[in-house]
Amino acid sequence: MALDPERRRQLHAMKLKSLVRDYLDDSIEEVVGTDDGALATLSGARFAALAEERCERAMGGALASALRSAADEVHVFASDSTDVLARRAELFSTSVKVWEVNGGVATSADSPKPVTEKPAPDVPELVSTLQDSGLEVVTEHGVIVGEVVGLEVARIICDAQGDRIEVGVGAHDREAFALLHGNMPTVEAIEQVANVVRFHRTPAAEPHPLNRLGAERWLRSHLLAQPARIGASELKAAPPPVQRTNLKEAVPAVAAGHLDDGVDVVVVCAVGIDLDLIPFAADARLFLDPQATLMVVIPQRDAHSVLYDLANQLIDPPLVVPIDDAWREWTTS
């Protein structure tokens, strides 16, 4: 039986209290349990956070809460993804220490090794099929997919059963499509699914799951076609620093290219207020090109002041570029 949400938050708060007492030798002035962990204000301008769920996304929330508490020293306790957190911590001017919690014992997280991307399978004929079908071909951490306006409709699968293209929006849809239309030629299958997605992923379309999924990738798709909107001469889709595992999860979309003056740029797109956007974006630049200019692109309504505050905490701050809230209505000439 699942724990009551309030009881779960209480347990998170109790766990953080215990960790602070045992490893920071400090008293807690205020602690708040959350669904994903807990946050605590300590004495001496210090702050502590516990990450229990979605640990790799915990850095932004911890730093944002620390800023509100005017803390200049932050401790993040996590049971998972501490390598990601430690890597991102090093990109900020704020003093951030990451602790790995295992069985109630906390140890200092080691400085992580740089991210390396898994090579993509060498399947040029299948890639050509995606391209010839009018899809945007995107490769991320060894996975090749075909997208329509930023939404995946086909994926190249290479396993013991051979190399093939599976059609559908996400794993469950691919499985269902194969059961219902397994004998349909691949090109025809791609066209059928792609046309449905295009119908819903237009400015005039009625609200539908197909135009709510992957909004950040929809925005990236626009910018790849119209890089001049943010002062770039060329942009190409690029992989994120951490592989996306769930089509439904809103994960910032990454691109890389050149600005009008020839300067290398890494662009990170997001839709909605995401406290972890800045740590994610800084990690993306570290992964792709540490010397590049970093540009964070968001709709104007999502340009919250906390985003700028977090950006200014980076050792090498990004350019935060708000764009028109009606970006979905952009058309390509």
Please count the residues of the chain.
333
Angstrom CA distances, 32 to 8, 53, 59, 274, 305, stand at 12, 15, 16, 20, 23
What is the percentage of the chain residues whose pLDDT exceeds 70?
Answer: 98
H helices present in 29-170, as ranges: 59-68, 82-89, 124-132
Cβ count within 10 A of residue 120? 16
Q: What is the arithmetic mean of pLDDT over 295-320?
A: 97
Q: Report how far residue 135's alpha carbon sits from residue 146's, in angstroms, rounded to the nearest whole number.
A: 5
Spatial contact of 133 and 187, defined as CB atoms under 8 Å apart? yes
pLDDT class of 332 with cuts at 50, 70, 90? low
Residue 1 confidence (pLDDT) above 60? no
Q: What is the arithmetic mean of pLDDT over 276-296?
A: 97
Residue 137 confidence (pLDDT) above 70? yes
Q: What is the arithmetic mean of pLDDT over 111-126?
A: 86
pLDDT class of 253 with cuts at 50, 70, 90? very high
- Check residue 116 and give its pLDDT: 80
- Check residue 5 and give its pLDDT: 84
Q: pLDDT (tens digit, 9 = 90+) per residue, 20-78?
A: 999 998 878 788 989 889 999 998 889 999 999 889 999 999 999 999 989 999 999 99
Q: Report how far residue 306's alpha carbon sits from residue 70's, in angstroms, rounded to the nearest whole number.
A: 13
Nearest to 74 by CA among 103, 93, 92, 97: 97
User: What's 199's DSSP letter?
Assistant: H
pTM value surpassing 0.85: yes
Residue 102 confidence (pLDDT) above 80? yes
Q: pLDDT (tens digit, 9 = 90+) per residue, 228-238?
A: 999 999 999 99
- Check residue 180 and give its pLDDT: 79
Q: What is the arithmetic mean of pLDDT over 206-227?
A: 94
Residue 2 confidence (pLDDT) above 70? no
Residue 159 confidence (pLDDT) above 90? yes
Question: 95 phi and psi, to 5 degrees?
Answer: -75, 110
Residue 259 confidence (pLDDT) above 90? yes
Q: Report how far residue 150's alpha carbon sits from residue 330's, in angstroms, rounded to the nearest whole number.
A: 14
Residue 157 confidence (pLDDT) above 90? yes
Helix H or strand E encompassing 178:
helix 171-181
Residue whose entry in the numeric block shows the structure tokens 């190409």: 236
Task: Please give the structure tokens belonging to residue 63.
Answer: 């730093």
Supply the angle between the helices 171-181 and 186-200 in degrees, to the nearest 10: 130
Tell me what the pLDDT averaged over the chain comes to. Answer: 92
* Angle (CA) 56 215 269, round 5°: 60
Q: What is the arithmetic mean of pLDDT over 132-156?
A: 95
- Check residue 29 and give its pLDDT: 77
Residue 112 confidence (pLDDT) above 80? no
Helix H or strand E encompassing 39:
strand 37-42
Nearest to 138 by CA among 233, 288, 258, 240: 240
Question: 160 phi and psi, to 5 degrees?
Answer: -65, -20
Q: What is the arithmetic mean of pLDDT over 86-109?
A: 94
Q: Report how far residue 191's alpha carbon sits from residue 163's, in angstroms, rounded to the nearest whole number.
A: 20
Residue 175 confidence (pLDDT) above 70? yes
